[in-house]
Amino acid sequence: MDLTASPEVAARHAQWLRAGLEVVTANKWAVAAGEEAYQRLRAASEVSAYRHATTVGAGLPLLETIQRLRASGERILSVSGLFSGTLSYLTQALATGRPFSEALSEAQQQGLTEPDPRLDLSGLDVARKLIITARAAGHSIDPKQVAVESLYPETLADWPLADFLDRAGPELDAYWQAHPACKQQGVPRYVATVDGEGRAQVGIRCLPADHPFVAIGPTDNIFQIRTDSYDDTPIIIRGPGAGARVTATQVLADIQQFRVT
């Protein structure tokens, strides 16, 4: 089992598989790697079994559902959703008119962000989850092909962490006050989408109040799957997308699959 978030450990997955070891992981780095490295991982997974259900949505059955739909002959028209509980929390705060810096500080105090919150705000973690999802849906995709919108200005990217945490508030608030999402009708949400052609994007969208992505819990994940049979009424998967308990439950389910198969 690899339950780290380390790219160095993830780089060993293919080696372990070629050696005949079965691998269960919640580490996204290997399955969201560049296309060449990912194809090497896929080839190695022909030697031994590889389970990574918890790399997207923790305990939610997103990847399994996509794979079962494809196995039944369904064509995946699109997969979209809110892939980050942290960013769901922040955009819900924005929708109430609260200053962005205040919402970010509160999220940090609740342990919802990484120690450096720019890792969440960059959108790159969501992009990695979308890459994994797109590959489950049958697309060949490289990380460079995903259009990603950051939630903080580039001017703050090179600040030392201590300076960012202590002094970035006014610049973050000014950035968001000028953001187009604050001037549009609708409710802002940080949405990731891959369509039937494999085009993938991650960023802020303003949604109508009756959209399924609006009325959710503060840190929930929610996913919408459209197929030929589930187009007018798409499949919705919703629930906690992070946390030790739900992740551990799905890791144990992945281990049990080895015993069954």
Helix ranges (H only) for the chain are 7-10, 13-18, 35-44, 62-71, 85-95, 100-109, 118-121, 124-136, 161-167, 169-177, 244-260
Poorest-pLDDT segment among 114-118, 157-161, 230-234: 114-118
Model confidence over 120-160: pLDDT tens digits? 999 999 999 999 999 999 999 999 999 999 999 999 999 99
Mean pLDDT across the chain: 92
The pLDDT, as a whole number, for residue 260 is 58
Query: Where do the structural domains in the chain lie, given as residue ranges?
Result: 59-241
Model confidence over 12-52: pLDDT tens digits? 999 999 999 999 999 999 999 999 999 999 999 999 999 99
Strand partners, 106: none
- Residue 182 reports pLDDT greater than 80: no
3-state secondary structure of 191: strand
Separation between Cα atoms, residue 53 and residue 61, nearest integer Å: 7
Separation between Cα atoms, residue 69 and residue 66, nearest integer Å: 5
Residue 168 has, within 13 A of its CA and on its CB side, a CA count of 25
Cite the active site residues: 129
Neighbouring C-beta atoms of residue 36, cutoff 10 Å: 8
For the stretch 150-156, contacts whose Cβ atoms lie closer than 8 Å and that sit 24 or more positions apart, written own/partner, are: 150/121, 150/122, 150/123, 151/87, 151/90, 151/121, 151/122, 151/123, 151/190, 151/204, 152/118, 152/121, 152/122, 156/118
**220-227: strand order across its sheet:** 147-148, 200-207, 187-195, 76-82, 220-227, 235-240
According to DSSP, residue 145 is labeled G
Q: Which CATH superfamily is domain 59-241 in?
A: Dihydrodipicolinate Reductase; domain 2 (3.30.360.10)
